[in-house]
Amino acid sequence: MLHAKNVSIDGRIAVIGSSNADVRSFMLNAEISLILHDEASAGPLADVQRGHIRRSDQLLLEEWRDRSGLSRFSENLARLVSPLL
Protein backbone atom coordinates (compact mmCIF):
# COMPACT_ATOMS: atom_id res chain seq x y z
CA MET A 1 0.00 0.00 0.00
CA LEU A 2 1.22 3.46 -0.87
CA HIS A 3 0.43 6.23 1.61
CA ALA A 4 1.63 9.33 -0.17
CA LYS A 5 0.35 12.84 0.29
CA ASN A 6 1.21 14.70 -2.85
CA VAL A 7 -0.54 16.52 -5.65
CA SER A 8 0.77 17.53 -9.04
CA ILE A 9 -0.97 20.09 -11.23
CA ASP A 10 -0.18 20.14 -14.95
CA GLY A 11 3.36 18.94 -14.25
CA ARG A 12 4.26 22.50 -13.19
CA ILE A 13 3.05 22.74 -9.58
CA ALA A 14 3.42 20.11 -6.87
CA VAL A 15 2.47 19.87 -3.21
CA ILE A 16 4.28 17.28 -1.08
CA GLY A 17 3.80 16.89 2.64
CA SER A 18 2.44 15.13 5.67
CA SER A 19 -0.80 17.05 6.13
CA ASN A 20 -4.28 15.78 5.39
CA ALA A 21 -6.73 18.24 3.86
CA ASP A 22 -8.83 18.63 6.99
CA VAL A 23 -9.19 21.07 9.88
CA ARG A 24 -7.55 18.73 12.38
CA SER A 25 -4.36 18.50 10.33
CA PHE A 26 -4.15 22.22 9.67
CA MET A 27 -5.01 23.43 13.19
CA LEU A 28 -4.16 20.67 15.69
CA ASN A 29 -1.44 18.46 14.26
CA ALA A 30 2.08 19.69 13.58
CA GLU A 31 2.17 18.99 9.87
CA ILE A 32 3.97 20.58 6.96
CA SER A 33 3.74 20.74 3.17
CA LEU A 34 6.17 21.87 0.49
CA ILE A 35 4.89 23.66 -2.62
CA LEU A 36 7.01 23.46 -5.78
CA HIS A 37 6.36 25.96 -8.59
CA ASP A 38 8.67 24.82 -11.35
CA GLU A 39 8.45 22.17 -14.03
CA ALA A 40 11.92 20.78 -13.27
CA SER A 41 10.76 19.77 -9.78
CA ALA A 42 7.05 19.11 -10.30
CA GLY A 43 7.38 17.20 -13.58
CA PRO A 44 9.22 14.18 -12.14
CA LEU A 45 6.60 13.86 -9.39
CA ALA A 46 3.86 13.70 -12.04
CA ASP A 47 5.85 10.94 -13.80
CA VAL A 48 6.10 8.95 -10.55
CA GLN A 49 2.37 9.36 -9.94
CA ARG A 50 1.54 8.10 -13.45
CA GLY A 51 3.75 5.06 -12.80
CA HIS A 52 1.87 4.28 -9.57
CA ILE A 53 -1.45 4.57 -11.38
CA ARG A 54 -0.29 2.20 -14.15
CA ARG A 55 0.72 -0.41 -11.55
CA SER A 56 -2.46 -0.01 -9.48
CA ASP A 57 -5.61 -2.10 -9.53
CA GLN A 58 -8.94 -0.37 -9.93
CA LEU A 59 -11.41 -1.01 -7.12
CA LEU A 60 -14.99 -0.96 -8.34
CA LEU A 61 -17.81 0.19 -6.07
CA GLU A 62 -19.44 -3.25 -6.18
CA GLU A 63 -16.19 -4.92 -5.10
CA TRP A 64 -15.84 -2.49 -2.20
CA ARG A 65 -19.43 -3.12 -1.12
CA ASP A 66 -18.79 -6.89 -1.20
CA ARG A 67 -15.70 -6.75 1.05
CA SER A 68 -15.51 -9.21 3.92
CA GLY A 69 -17.02 -8.77 7.36
CA LEU A 70 -13.52 -8.76 8.83
CA SER A 71 -12.58 -5.82 6.59
CA ARG A 72 -15.69 -3.91 7.64
CA PHE A 73 -14.98 -4.64 11.32
CA SER A 74 -11.36 -3.49 10.97
CA GLU A 75 -12.46 -0.26 9.27
CA ASN A 76 -14.99 0.48 12.00
CA LEU A 77 -12.45 -0.24 14.73
CA ALA A 78 -9.92 2.07 13.09
CA ARG A 79 -12.56 4.79 12.79
CA LEU A 80 -13.42 4.38 16.48
CA VAL A 81 -9.84 4.82 17.71
CA SER A 82 -8.72 7.42 15.13
CA PRO A 83 -9.34 10.41 17.46
CA LEU A 84 -6.82 8.86 19.87
CA LEU A 85 -4.05 8.63 17.29
pTM for this predicted structure: 0.63
How many structural domains compose the chain? 1
* 3-state per-residue secondary structure call for 4-69: CCEEEECCCEEEEECCCCCHHHHHHCCCCEEEECCHHHHHHHHHHHHHHHHCCCCCCHHHHHCCCH
- Give the pLDDT of the chain (85 residues) as one tens digit per residue: 667 788 999 989 999 988 777 777 777 777 788 899 999 989 999 999 999 999 999 999 999 999 999 999 999 999 999 888 7
| Residues linked to residue 13 through DSSP beta bridges, in sequence order | 9
Show the domain range for 51: 6-84
In a domain, 15, yes or no: yes
In a domain, 1, yes or no: no
